[in-house]
Structure 1
Amino acid sequence: MSQVTDPEDLIPSILAESRIIAVVGLSSNADRPSYEVAHYLQSHGYRIVPVNPTYAGAHILGEPCYATLQEAASAVEKKGQKIDVVDVFRKAEDIPPVVDDAIAIKADCIWMQLGIAHQAAAEKARAVGLKVVMDKCIKVEHALHA
């Protein structure tokens, strides 16, 4: 039997306990899945923190966009808050450095969107106590568990 907690068991508590979600790879294009998901989460009371170097300095969904997860975390910390979930819209091969950043900012969870998984990075995150969800859409899971 695996020692890893089934992500299905973690999802309701992640969604209930989290308030601030950094969306890595968030696009300003309303037709992109990242925008749709972030808008949905925002409309359900979560604070979205956009992270995308392409849009750094601009605003997406009314929130300032940051070039890096570290910059985003620093801005949130200035308000006495922290990023709870790092929701990733990037290719699987881009996941390891995002996991390193999530560990560095002491996020509680790394969430890899539908179609994205990276086992080695997930194991690294779990080894330091992060909750890990892979290959699942946070919007779909919220709708199922809300």
Structure 2
Amino acid sequence: MSSVDKILDDIFKETRTIAVIGASPKPERPSHYVGAYLRARGYKIIGVNPGHPGRMMFGEPVVAHLSDIQHTVDMIDIFRRSDHVLSVVEDAIEALPGLQTVWMQLGIFNAEAADLAEAQGMRVIQDRCPKIEFPRLYGEKTLPEIKG
């Protein structure tokens, strides 16, 4: 297993709750089908979108802001333009104590945001999609065995 695959494996095994930033209610949008895919694999998914607060998505009500989330979030999955990522990470650091992973979707990079998150002890993934990486590592199984 490569070092990147080891990091991804750790993330998938240690993560339980994921906030999808920019979640769309439209099934054809990547944020929607990635969230649905991860929910089907056993993760709790919380959609974050100020245009749809209270709407049910992924079996949970959508929240307008990260600060509206009332439980622990292990990972944020960012579906926003690269130039918006720093403010998302700043909000996440303030609103989500215990956040372990900042994941930026395909085509999304932000070095300043990555440096900030890493300085807080978080793992950072850029320009990758969990809907691609999960089946590449595990096939179409459900959530891998939880680490002790």
Q: CA RMSD in A?
A: 1.2
Q: What TM-score, normalized to structure 1?
A: 0.88
- 2:41 equivalent in structure 1: 44
Whether 1:99 aligns to 2:89 is yes
Q: What TM-score, normalized to structure 2?
A: 0.86
Of 126, 132, 135 in structure 2, the residue corresponding to residue 140 of structure 1 is: 132
- 1:30 equivalent in structure 2: 27
Q: How many residues are treated as equivalent by the alignment? A: 134
- 1:3 equivalent in structure 2: none
Deviations 1:33-89 (A, max 9, x none): 1101000000000000110001112111221000001112xx22xxxxx10000000
Shift of 1:10: 1.4
Is the Cα contact below 8 Å between 1:88 and 1:113 reproduced in 2? Answer: yes
Q: Which runs of 5+ in 2 are unaligned?
A: 139-148
Is the Cα contact below 8 Å between 1:7 and 1:133 reproduced in 2? Answer: no
Distance in 2 (CA, whole Å) between partners of 1:61 and 1:129 is 28
Is the Cα contact below 8 Å between 2:46 and 2:58 reproduced in 1? Answer: no
Deviations 1:91-138 (A, max 9, x none): 001101111122221211100001101011101110110110000001
Whether 1:130 aligns to 2:127 is no
Distance in 2 (CA, whole Å) between partners of 1:61 and 1:45 is 11
Whether 1:84 aligns to 2:84 is no
Runs of 4+ in 1 over 4 A off after TM superposition: none
Look up the SS of the partner of 1:23 in the other structure.
Answer: strand
Aligned residue type for 2:80: R
Of all paired residues, the percent bearing the same amino acid is: 38
Shift of 1:7: 4.7
Q: Which runs of 5+ in 1 are unaligned?
A: 1-5, 77-81
Distance in 2 (CA, whole Å) between partners of 1:7 and 1:101 is 27
- 1:120 equivalent in structure 2: 112
Distance in 1 (CA, whole Å) between partners of 2:5 and 2:50 is 32
Distance in 2 (CA, whole Å) between partners of 1:114 and 1:7 is 16
Shift of 1:19: 0.6
Which structure dedicates a bigger proportion of its chain to helix?
1
